[in-house]
Amino acid sequence: MTFKIIFYIIFMTLSTANLANSTSEKKLPPCRDSPNCVSSQAEDAKHFIEPFKISGSPEEAWKALKEALNSQSRMVITHETADTLHAEATSLVFRFVDDINVILDTDTNLIHIRSASRTGHSDFGVNRKRIEALRLQLQKAHVID
């Protein structure tokens, strides 16, 4: 029994270390081949969406982004660090969950963002519309161009 516990602790520690390394590289998870994902770091046109260009203070833009996410219905921020954020959006009727990953890149004054459905193939453009609505909200707050 204690061997299993020790093995589990080691396994979880190694898994956490890999997660920390991936966020320090400032990379979002890649989109799968299905059209239900958009990312500012995607290399193909069907998944690519422009990153948010910060127009003022990165700290103010980051704060405004978190407020904008929290103001959306059925959206919950599940994890955040000083420069990364993960949120989940749940659809009203079928309770599908979409993942929103965000990275604050102060070196380039950009906010990289990804929104992807966990299941299914098509999302009828919901993830792209979500990010563009978020972009508009942040533009109205005058924190991004």
If one counts the domains in the chain, the total is 1
Residue 4 domain-assigned (yes or no): no
Specify burial of residue 106 (Cβ count, 10 A radius: 0-12, 13-18, 19+). Answer: middle
pLDDT at 9: 55
Residue 24 domain-assigned (yes or no): no
Whether the Cβ atoms of residue 2 and residue 8 lie closer than 8 Å to each other: no
- Reported as a single tens digit per residue, the pLDDT across 12-28 is 555 443 443 343 468 99
pLDDT at 11: 52
Q: pTM for the complete prediction? A: 0.79
Residue 73 domain-assigned (yes or no): yes
pLDDT at 137: 96
The CATH code of the domain that includes 70 is: 3.30.310.80
Residue 134 domain-assigned (yes or no): yes
- Using CA atoms, how far apart are residues 68 and 123, in angstroms rounded to an integer? 22
The domain in which residue 125 lies consists of 30-140
pLDDT at 93: 85
Residue 129 domain-assigned (yes or no): yes
pLDDT at 42: 96
Handedness of CA 7, 16, 78, 129 (dihedral sign): negative
pLDDT at 6: 58
Residue 135 domain-assigned (yes or no): yes
Per-residue pLDDT of the chain (145 residues; tens, 9 = 90+): 565 555 545 555 554 434 433 434 689 999 999 999 999 999 999 999 999 999 999 999 999 999 999 999 999 999 999 999 999 999 888 889 999 999 999 999 999 999 999 998 888 889 999 999 999 999 999 999 9
Residue 78 domain-assigned (yes or no): yes
Residue 23 domain-assigned (yes or no): no
